[in-house]
Amino acid sequence: MGVDLGNLLAKMDILSTSDHASVVSINIFVALLCACIVIGHLLEENRWMNESITALIIGVCSGIIILLTTGGRSSHLLVFSEDIFFIYVLPPIIFNAGFQVKKKQFFRNFSTIMLFGAIGTLISFAIISFGAMKIFKNMNIGSLEIADYLAIGAIFSATDSVCTLQVLNQDETPLLYSLVFGEGVVNDATSVVLFNAIQSFDLSHINSSIILQFVGSFLYLFFLSTVLGVVAGLLCAFIIKKLYFGRHSTDREVALMMLMAYLSYMLAELFYLSSILTVFFCGIVMSHYTWHNVTESSRITTKHAFATLSFVCELFIFLYVGMDALDIEKWKFISDSPGTSVGVSSILIGLILVGRAAFVFPLSFLSNLMKKTPYEKIEIKQQVTIWWAGLMRGAVSMALAYNKFTSEGFTQFRANAFMITSTITVVLFSTVVFGLLTKPLVRHLLPSSKHLSRALSSESTTPKSFNVPLLDNGQNSEADLGSHVPRPTSLRMLLSTPSHTVHFYWRKFDNAFMRPVFGGRGFVPFVPGSPIEQSMHQTE
């Protein structure tokens, strides 16, 4: 009995020591997050820096200190897991992106965004995969199969939409922000769908049947993921409109919106769909319908709560990536050939540059052919900025690389070690170098904010402007909606101005069927004694 008690006490002591170490690690990590916020605020006016780069640099410096204090055993406080990233950290970022995005700009440029985000990603994926296959076979990096090369294409086709939020301003460059950010979200979703499709197919013997199945699986996942997000957003809007929780508690409204958004993400994961695409469109639908069904205090709360969660998750990602860049376990497998490692990373960066240029400029030309007004066309300087701003690679690439080339957090084979370390190098280089130069490039190539605002104001007063929302953000009155769009009178008009036509019929359908059922601006539930009734009396 004494022996058993002694063993029990020993085990308890080990557990308590482990728990204490975890608490210490979490305390230090949270302190570093606070430091990122403070230093990022102090550097906010700096023309070169942004919070992503600040967090990355702090992570690298912290990793160096931890590496020295542990005698070279470890460089990070927490163990990275792609499951933690995809399940807990990424959802708030993507949902907030959909919830806060200016839908007027997003849907106004929807065709161009889909061209860049879907077709462009496929072009980049093909170039990177083919280039890596041709070049890496002649290098001494170990054996890679066809599925590995295709996975490399999917991994390095994923742009960093998080860093895009830091380097472009939605108010100063609305068109560029809409295109680069919208493309980034669709691009991430496309890359993840591609990656999952590659994982689920036997690509050792490729034939026409396998290719058709691959394309069908890709389209199926893309479409079904979008539908799931829209359905989840509409269901939340319907429940809140019918039950109107705000009569008793605004907390219930906020909690339901958060949980329904997260439920849509997890359902997509459960059914092996693109959870990124699902939660993004769930955010768009919630901001169009659900947000207008809640009380004023809930609107303010949700807006800032979602933004805060997204902000903290972004800092967490870049801080950890900076720490993990110095993980000794990953680098020791290639320590005998540093030159080859630099060569692999350089080749990947070169393929990323070529792959992005191969679709940005041709697809911009195609997009310009469909535009009628000069303000809608993408000028060559804007094309260069779009090309450059999308070169950054971030946490999605890291997570996919971990998923493909590691086992339980460390590499097992020489080729896998090269791919992991090269991914880390590419992410660090692209985020720091490309990220540092993006702001100065935007200021150099694009007109000043005064000229831009003047151009936008003149555009908005033009009767034939394309400046018409498919889904509005609640900034325009109901009387304004539909007043600028002429009804299509012939098939010729439908073909010549498809955006006008889609906008016109969507608003007509939205006002007649969707808003009366699901709520939204102009169809807020009327409850006696509610803040809505009070505001109505005040306006009267």
d(CA 393, CA 414) in angstroms, rounded, equals 23
Task: Encode 174-186: b = buried (16+ Cβ within 10 Å), e = exposed.
Answer: bbbbbbbbbbbbb
For residues 398 and 342, give the distance between their C-alpha atoms in angstroms, rounded to a whole number: 18
Q: CA dihedral defined by 29, 161, 435, 454, rounded to 10 degrees? A: -130
Q: How far is Cα 342 from Cα 421, in angstroms, rounded to an integer?
A: 10
The amino acid occupying position 409 is G
pLDDT digit string (tens) for the chain, length 540 residues:
444 655 655 555 554 555 777 788 888 889 999 999 998 888 877 666 777 788 888 988 888 888 888 776 766 676 666 778 788 888 998 898 888 877 777 777 888 888 898 899 999 999 999 999 999 888 878 788 888 899 999 999 988 766 666 666 666 677 777 888 788 878 887 888 888 878 777 666 677 777 787 778 778 888 899 999 999 999 999 998 888 776 677 888 889 999 999 999 999 989 888 888 899 899 999 998 998 888 888 889 998 999 899 889 888 888 888 887 777 777 777 767 778 888 999 999 999 999 999 999 999 999 888 877 777 788 898 899 889 888 888 878 887 888 888 765 556 677 888 888 888 889 889 888 888 888 788 788 876 544 444 334 333 333 333 333 333 333 343 334 344 444 444 444 444 455 555 667 777 888 888 888 888 776 655 554 444 444 444 434
469: left (phi over 0), alpha (psi -120 to 50) or beta: beta
For the domain spanning 82-448, the CATH number is 1.20.1530.20
Q: How far is CA 223 from CA 152, 228, 268, 277, 509, in A?
A: 24, 9, 12, 9, 21
Cβ(229)–Cβ(280) below 8 Å: yes
Which is nearest to 346 in space by CA: 499, 539, 135, 79? Answer: 135
The whole-angstrom separation of Cα 276 and Cα 280 is: 6
Cα torsion 341, 346, 352, 358 to 10°: value is -140
Q: Where are the domains of the chain?
A: 82-448
